[in-house]
Amino acid sequence: MATSSAAIGPAGKSASRRQPFGDEVAYAVTWFFATLILGLTLWVVFELWTHSSESISKFGFHFLTTKLWNPVTDEFGALPFIYGTVLTSVLALLISVPVGVGAAIYLSELAPTKLSNALTFLVELLAAVPSVIYGLMAIFTLVPLMRDYIGPAVQAVAGKLPFFAGHVYGVGYLTAALILAIMIFPYIISVSREALMSVPRDQREAALALGATKWESTWQVVVPYARLGILGSVFLALARAIGETMAVTLVIGNDPAIHASLFAPGYTIAAVIANEFTEATGKVYLSSLIELGLVLFALTMILNAAAQLLIVLTTGKGTARG
Amino acid sequence: MVSTSETKMAYPPETTAYAPENKMSPTSTEGTKSATATAKLRAANVNFHYGSFHALHDVSMEFQENKVTALIGPSGCGKSTFLRNLNRINETLRDTRLEGEITLDGQNIMDFDITEVRRRVGMVFQRPNPFPKSIFENIIYGPKINGMLKGTSAAEIVEKSLRRAALWEEAKDKLHESAYALSGGQQQRLCIARALAVNPEVLLLDEPCSALDPIATAKIEDLLVSLKDQCTIVIVTHNMQQAARVADTTGFFLMGRLIEHAKTDMIFKNPACKETEDYITGRFG
């Protein structure tokens, strides 16, 4: 009771102690913070653009379509890196999305609460492991595993296909994709689980009350209802995969070429920047690396825009308020 | 935890275990039907626990075929809990326990395949809860999962269900639009249509009008009266006038007990119990 009367006391006076123009100040401050984000983005683009001017003026749009990357003759093209980045990211998603969404369904719908909470805690811990640790883990376990077991086994079955042809070094697109898949797995689980848990209980009950089994209600009603959130988790994971540098650099093989075989070594944009930036001597070389950064930025933007478009297109008629 | 008949999350084992009895159900139904007169659904000594909370105490009640039964009582009296046991939807809640016997056409609902109980005993919820799909898909969902689309066309089922729920005229031109494009009252009638699409023998309604305006409420009440020659209806309501308007019999719940169940006229004009009288005259609750 004492606290309540104490609280009323100052409150009565506070009207007179209010800041003049409080709303205007709050508006200005929050506007500044919001604009800061836009400003930073534009600044990044501007810096990347100006520092890559040499490369842009020398190669023009050919930069995006050239396969050659030769510091000795000062000829640079981004295509092998774009290819490597997109290929490893998409492969990682193909591996990680079914597993991650499946795990999220188990955690949110089927697992006992205590087990679900414990597993979710572990999953979130996984997301906090530094990527260089994943990279080392990949070098010590994934690379030999790929070279000695997975590669030969796959080639024994499907070695005729161009995707699995050639020598298996252990490092390469598939190894990078696998470690990426492991790294983005926690994001997909964690965000999808949240999305699934926020589906109203009466949606589940509506399906059950019509005679649906637990699984029918989960798969046909709960998952579609949470679709947007699950898609969101996929795009978050994709953004993470595209930009991932350290782990990929360690196992991609660092070969600036385009190979059809998933076992072949390749390169990604982030990996080549990290590897070659400190030793880039020529002006055009350095400028080309920075332009690669610009390409990575654009790639991320394009994929995000595509994601938004996909959401808009699928949120038309007959879907949840989105 | 005491586990006499503790409810489980895993239905399949039960399903297979009881399958043989299930097949016998037509004959045993015939046999018991005369014995129970026209009681479509019967609850005997039902006790229900949420964890350590004893929510229902020895509730015994019969629901006559093709009648509307209203369950009234103050908030937290157990009427919704009781209703939600009649189609075993409360089994989806964790840490709950049901004792006693509930029979549908004389057969214990625990002996049925759970999906069969729920198909035969439909349910409409407090807030309209259409699926985020088109009107058409909402209605066809139940028939589809229950394998009822053989022989009849989907369009036929949709039209019939919407007509039964008095929504056809309003919805026929936008069958393929989102169910969320409908008003709240229309959404609730859509949910009734969705429930009717699987031809339930009993329809449970859990305060179906509590989120609706008076006009939408009146439409649903008219609908319930018109539906009762097709199925047995049990409605939980906060609104005593609603019970008086639609129900043939009314049960009054208080503190997890069924205090009185009689013809609606009797309950409102000449209740047998003091508590019922206090409640309907507005002295508490």
| Arithmetic mean of pLDDT, B246-255 | 93
pLDDT at B284: 64
Residue of B nearest to A110 (CA): B9
* B87 Cβ contact partners less than 8 Å away, ≥ 6 residues apart: A209, B109, B117, B118, B121, B122, B123, B202, B204
Nearest residue to B70 (alpha-carbon basis) of B210, B208, B192, B252: B252
Nearest to B198 among A211, A213, A224 (CB): A211
Residue B272 pLDDT greater than 70, yes or no: yes
Nearest-angstrom CA–CA distance, A224 and A196:
9
pLDDT at B24: 39
Contacts 24+ apart (CB under 8 A), B177-180: B177/A317, B177/A318, B177/B134, B177/B135, B178/A317, B178/A318, B178/A319, B178/B132, B178/B133, B178/B134, B178/B135, B179/A318, B179/B130, B179/B131, B179/B132, B179/B133, B179/B134, B179/B135, B179/B138, B180/A320, B180/A321, B180/B130, B180/B132
Residue A11 pLDDT greater than 90, yes or no: no
* Chain B residues with a Cβ under 8 Å from any Cβ in chain A: 9, 11, 87, 89, 92, 94, 115-116, 118-119, 122-123, 125-127, 129-134, 137, 141-142, 145-146, 176-180, 191, 194-195, 198
Lowest-confidence region among A124-138, A207-221, A298-312, B20-34: B20-34
Nearest to A203 among B118, B131, B198 (CB): B131
Nearest to B132 among A110, A214, A319 (CB): A319
Interface test with A, best of B85, B89, B145 (most A CBs within 10 A): B145
Q: Is B28 exposed, middle or buried (0-12, 13-18, 19+ CB in 10 A)?
A: middle
CATH number 1.10.390.10 is the correct assignment for the domain at A59-321: no
Each residue's pLDDT tens digit, A103-123: 999 999 999 989 999 999 999
The amino acid occupying position A73 is: T
More confident position, B235 or B239: B235
Each residue's pLDDT tens digit, B252-271: 999 999 999 999 999 998 88
Residue B32 pLDDT greater than 80, yes or no: no
Q: How confident is the model at residue B7 (pLDDT cuts 50, 70, 90)?
A: very low
Interface test with A, best of B16, B131, B136 (most A CBs within 10 A): B131
Lowest-confidence region among B53-57, B80-84, B148-152, B257-261: B148-152
| Arithmetic mean of pLDDT, B141-168 | 90
pLDDT at A318: 40
pLDDT at A20: 83
Q: How confident is the model at residue A87 (pLDDT cuts 50, 70, 90)?
A: very high
In the predicted model, what is the mean pLDDT of chain B?
Answer: 84
Residue A205 pLDDT greater than 90, yes or no: yes
pLDDT at A6: 45
pLDDT at A167: 87
| Arithmetic mean of pLDDT, B15-37 | 39
Nearest to A317 among B115, B142, B177 (CB): B177
Smallest CA–CA distance, residue B89 to chain A, in Å, is 7
pTM of the model: 0.80
Q: Quick count: other Cβ atoms within 10 Å of Cβ B111?
A: 17
Cβ of A208 within 8 Å of Cβ of B89? The answer is yes
Nearest residue to A257 (alpha-carbon basis) of A80, A69, A86, A83: A80
Beta carbons of B68 and B55 less than 8 angstroms apart:
no
pLDDT at A1: 41
Cβ of A220 within 8 Å of Cβ of B145? The answer is yes
What are chain B's domains?
25-280 (3.40.50.300)
pLDDT at A315: 63
The amino acid occupying position A219 is: W
End-to-end C-alpha distance for chain A, whole angstroms: 45
Interface test with A, best of B81, B141, B173 (most A CBs within 10 A): B141
Residue B190 pLDDT greater than 70, yes or no: yes
Residue A316 pLDDT greater than 70, yes or no: no
Q: How confident is the model at residue A296 (pLDDT cuts 50, 70, 90)?
A: very high
pLDDT at B16: 35
Each residue's pLDDT tens digit, B273-282: 888 888 888 8
Percent of chain B with pLDDT over 90: 56
Nearest-angstrom CA–CA distance, B77 and B82:
10
Q: How confident is the model at residue A252 (pLDDT cuts 50, 70, 90)?
A: very high
Q: Is B177 exposed, middle or buried (0-12, 13-18, 19+ CB in 10 A)?
A: middle
Cβ of B180 within 8 Å of Cβ of A321? The answer is yes
Each residue's pLDDT tens digit, B214-224: 888 998 899 99
pLDDT at A207: 94
Nearest-angstrom CA–CA distance, B268 and B276:
9
Beta carbons of A126 and A189 less than 8 angstroms apart:
no
Nearest-angstrom CA–CA distance, B270 and B268:
6
pLDDT at A166: 85
CB < 8 Å to A209, chain B: 87, 89, 118, 122-123, 125, 195
Q: For residue B44, what is the DSSP state? A: E
Q: In this predicted complex, what is the ipTM?
A: 0.81
Percent of chain A with pLDDT over 70: 92
Cβ of A206 within 8 Å of Cβ of B177? The answer is no
| Arithmetic mean of pLDDT, A207-231 | 92
pLDDT at A16: 63
